Chains A and B, each alone.
Chain A
């Protein structure tokens, strides 16, 4: 596990020294402050707007970071052959992938956390401190969602080029957002189609479970059961994806 820590720390360093995440954090804070300009136009719904847009900014910037940084995480190392210096040491390949995921996840949690705190600070200044618990829960779930998407990005990056990895990851993200609909359609669809829809809904990440933006907009917290199940699901899905990535990565020859 020391190896995982070393790779994760190195990846975290790489992600945070890269201007991209810093730029996104600053952009996120500026955008949140910018939502206050829309207050007079919101006809009394400004509080909801602040929370909604703030949480969306966190999610969208996080997704952008995964697509820009995460999808080239492993692919870039293979292309540039910096991976030779790592895998020629006593470092099992699966631990390398886990370390990569952990490092980028940590970086994204850092960004989400900072933006979440910025949002809470903004709400407190506006006298809406009571909504902070709901916002923090929503940010926590958004962080879990990003960790899941990061795992997919690492898997794609280990097997494909950066551009294709970004496309595949985005594809998984979009279909994952519709997994609830797929499950719903499956209940009404006949025979083989229903089964197929159910299988697809099971295979793609169940991203709606990480979305409590609607609740948070109204200042409502969610049940501990929801948080617990979402956390457990995230851990299991990430484990599955990284194990698949490791299985494929084991057989890879590096040119």
Chain B
């Protein structure tokens, strides 16, 4: 399937506020001109992690943070969560500068492939997590029990973490991110290591948090989940924010294709005038013609009728987020039928 890259150019962004201007109170996460670069102490070579990143996540929304490996997603997340120091620029969490530890009081963070103290039990770890986030001893104990049960680990709260499976650890990590009921959740690959049931539970948790008014920002490689959950999607490439828009805005103008399902096998040669936009896919009992340009639907249909092809169904196909993302990342539409088949 051919998917065009970035559709129509976005309108000019509003003027960028200065670095010293106060943060926008409507935003849960805000970065301004954020840079992160690394200097090799031996070669003195500078590698850029993120460049001039202006990111804004509104309070209460769910944002998917996408990008290929090495794009700068984890770097951004680590700066926001205090694990990295930005080289330049500013970043705020819920109005607090990320350099201040108290800005993370209402933050729940799940790192990618979380590791825990394997000598602690599940309940002990959640109590520690809750207390470090400001809960009192009694409250932390109660919440720990509650969240352990909520993520499906409540049947053996005293089990040592050394004996947890990867999926159990992932769920515990989520519970640790939520135990203090934060206003902001940042999740790095929250579906990682989970089976379909686990993923479903995580999706439900995220939706639950959205209902609660929690702001959620998560990165994921499972794009159907992003498409399903997110209000907006931010795509970062080579350290720069390429695009940030709703899923609908991203899909709009990305090009629709039309699929013609036809009975039996058709040996008709594709007409020259449609060869560039029409492809054929032979299946055992049917033939599927895919038209990349929806505006030429009538023309294609007329040709099929003229070839005495029995058309069983005409179905518009919208590009998926995954296809859009891959096209964006590659910087071009693919035009390769085999590739289209894989991505369809």
Interface positions, chain B 130-169, Cβ under 8 Å from A, are 131-134
- Chain B residues, CB < 8 A from A91: 101, 132
* Size class of the A contact interface (CB-based, 8 Å): 20 to 34
What 0/1 pattern do residues 303 to 331 of B give for CB contact below 8 A with A?
Answer: 00000000000000000000000000000
**A128 at the A/B interface (Cβ < 8 Å)?**
no
Other CB < 8 Å A-B pairs besides A89-B107, A92-B101, 15 of them?
A: A10-B120, A10-B128, A81-B114, A82-B115, A84-B114, A85-B114, A85-B173, A87-B83, A88-B109, A89-B109, A89-B129, A89-B133, A90-B101, A90-B104, A254-B84
**A126 at the A/B interface (Cβ < 8 Å)?**
no
- Chain B residues, CB < 8 A from A13: 119-120
Interface positions, chain B 108-126, Cβ under 8 Å from A, are 109, 111, 113-117, 119-120
- Chain A residues, CB < 8 A from B128: 6, 10
Contact of B111 among A2, A18, A88, A251 (CB under 8 A): A88
Interface positions, chain A 12-28, Cβ under 8 Å from B, are 13-14, 17-18
Contact of B132 among A82, A84, A86 (CB under 8 A): A86
**A130 at the A/B interface (Cβ < 8 Å)?**
no
Question: In the complex, are the beta carbons of B105 and A90 less than 8 A apart?
Answer: yes
Interface positions, chain A 169-223, Cβ under 8 Å from B, are none
Query: How far is it, in angstroms, between the C-alpha of A14 and the C-alpha of B161 when the chains are bound?
Result: 13
Residues of chain B whose beta carbon lies under 8 Å from any beta carbon of chain A: 78, 81-85, 101-105, 107, 109, 111, 113-117, 119-120, 128-129, 131-134, 173, 176
| With contact pairs A10-B128, A13-B120, A18-B119 given, residues A87 and B111 touching in the complex (Cβ less than 8 Å) | no
| With contact pairs A81-B111, A85-B116 given, residues A6 and B131 touching in the complex (Cβ less than 8 Å) | yes
Q: What are 15 A-B contacts defined by CB distance under 8 Å?
A: A6-B132, A14-B117, A80-B115, A84-B111, A84-B115, A87-B81, A87-B83, A88-B81, A88-B107, A89-B101, A89-B107, A90-B103, A90-B105, A90-B132, A254-B78
Query: How far is it, in angstroms, between the C-alpha of A85 and the C-alpha of B107 when the chains are bound?
Result: 11
B144 to chain A, nearest CB (A): 14
Residues of chain A whose beta carbon lies under 8 Å from any beta carbon of chain B: 2-3, 6, 10, 13-14, 17-18, 80-82, 84-92, 251, 253-254
Query: How far is it, in angstroms, between the C-alpha of A232 and the C-alpha of B270 when the chains are bound?
Result: 92
- Chain A residues, CB < 8 A from B102: 90
B218 to chain A, nearest CB (A): 14
Query: How far is it, in angstroms, between the C-alpha of A126 and the C-alpha of B103 when the chains are bound?
Result: 61
Interface centre among A10, A87, A89, A253 (most CB of B within 10 A): A89
